[in-house]
Amino acid sequence: MDKSVEKLLAAARECRERAFAPYSGFKVGAAVETEDGTIFAGCNVESASYGLTMCAERVAIFTAVAAGRKRIKRISVVAESDELTAPCGACRQVIWEFGGDIPVLIVNTNGESVERQMSELLPMAFDSSFLK
């Protein structure tokens, strides 16, 4: 595996350990690589008011944006599930906003993985090009 992909996965795995998921018990980690090669990680953060929960993918992306990086080249998501956990619909829209048709590396804690392009996960995506 390519060194930068290994770093991306390691960042997602490490951040997953810091997930705040006392309600679902389902810890997720994510990491994005920005255009300049910097990696930003995120974990899911839940709330007793369940609907306020934020997914790991969006935490990673919003952290990158807050650090001044608006374009992402790839994203990895790590969760503990036999079935590989693909990003939720809301996260797919946000990934598209900042990455467009990028690869998404989906991994579980057994080390199984699958890679999908965003255009497969979010066909006919709505984005800023419709607003011009």
- By beta-carbon proximity to ligand THU, the closer residue of 102 and 132 is 102
For ligand THU, the closer of residues 37 and 51 by Cβ is 51
Which one is catalytic: 57, 83, 97, 115? Answer: 57
How far is Cα of residue 20 from the mean position of the Cα atoms in its chain?
16
Q: Which is nearer to ligand THU, 3 or 39 (CB)?
A: 39
Supply the minimum distance, in Å, between the C-beta of residue 28 and ligand THU: 4
What is the smallest separation between the CB atom of 94 and ligand THU, expressed in angstroms?
A: 11
Residue 105 CB, nearest approach to ligand THU (Å)? 13
Q: How far is CA 122 from CA 25, 94, 101, 116, in A?
A: 27, 11, 9, 10
Is-catalytic flag, 57?
Answer: yes
Neighbours of 32 (CB within 10 A): 29
State the residues that interact with ligand THU by CB under 6 A: 21, 24, 26, 28, 44, 46, 53, 55-57, 77, 85, 87-88, 91
Give me the least distance between CB of 129 and ligand THU, in Å please: 25
Phi and psi torsions of 71, nearest 5°: -120, 130
3-state secondary structure of 126: coil
Q: Which is nearer to ligand THU, 5 or 80 (CB)?
A: 80
* Angle value at C-alpha 114, between 112 and 116, nearest 5 degrees: 165
DSSP 72-100: EEEEEEEE--SS--PPPHHHHHHHHHHHS
Q: Which residues are catalytic?
A: 57
